[in-house]
Amino acid sequence: MTEEQQCPFCAIASGNIPSKVLYEDDAVVAFLDINPANAGHTIIIPKKHYAFLYQVPTEEMVKLFAVAKALSVAVVQAGGAQGMNMIYSMGPAAGQRAPHMMIHLIPRFENDKVVISWDSAPASEENLVNMADKIKSTLRSGGVSTPETIEAPKPEPKPSEPEKQDEEEKPKITWVPPKRVP
């Protein structure tokens, strides 16, 4: 079996594994995470199998972010949230567990139990300059390939008994600015 055939998120994209689909088009599907960090926690994926963001063709990425833009309002308003985190994790060291590239939208509430944090400390001017130079020269080299330090997670076996999906009409995304995001 190929990685795509084993990938549960490819199966969600094709409808073989049911999910609570919020939006779908030819390139993108958005659905509720069944293990949400908070109610309304949404996953957005390209329908085709890509392990990492850089592999997704730009026009598919544009569609994916247009969906993220519209859903950023919808998930906040629907759940009465006070904010939202958008999370993309590249590589297991960053918390990537799925073999399929995805974006998480996590609605946030004051004093909820979600923890996204790091300790920040000022960098020296020398370190900033060195790092900026390294990143810019890598960018200029134009090579887009998986860094040797990163490995994509392997697909795990699919769940055997997926729950039944409600047949719902898939809404079309039309961008309407929010009246008020709390």
Can you say whether residue 40 is alpha, beta or left, with left for phi > 0 and alpha for psi between -120 and 50 degrees? Answer: left
9 touching Zn ion, by CB under 5 A? yes
Question: Interface with Zn ion by CB under 5 A: which range of 97-105, 117-125, 126-134, 169-177?
Answer: 97-105
Residue nearest to Zn ion (CB): 7
Of the pair 10, 21, the CB lying nearest Zn ion is at 10
Residue 52 near Zn ion by CB under 5 A: no
Q: Are 38 and 114 in contact (CB under 8 A)?
A: yes
| Residue 123 to residue 143: CA distance in whole angstroms | 28
For Zn ion, give the closer residue by CB, 9 or 52.
9
Residue 49 interacts with Zn ion (CB under 5 A)?
A: yes
The conformation of residue 22, written as its DSSP 8-state character, comes to E
Q: Which of 63, 100, 104, 108 binds Zn ion (CB under 5 A)?
A: 100
d(CA 81, CA 159): 31
Distance between CA atoms of 71 and 81, rounded to whole angstroms?
13
Binding site for Zn ion (CB under 5 A): 7, 9-10, 49, 100
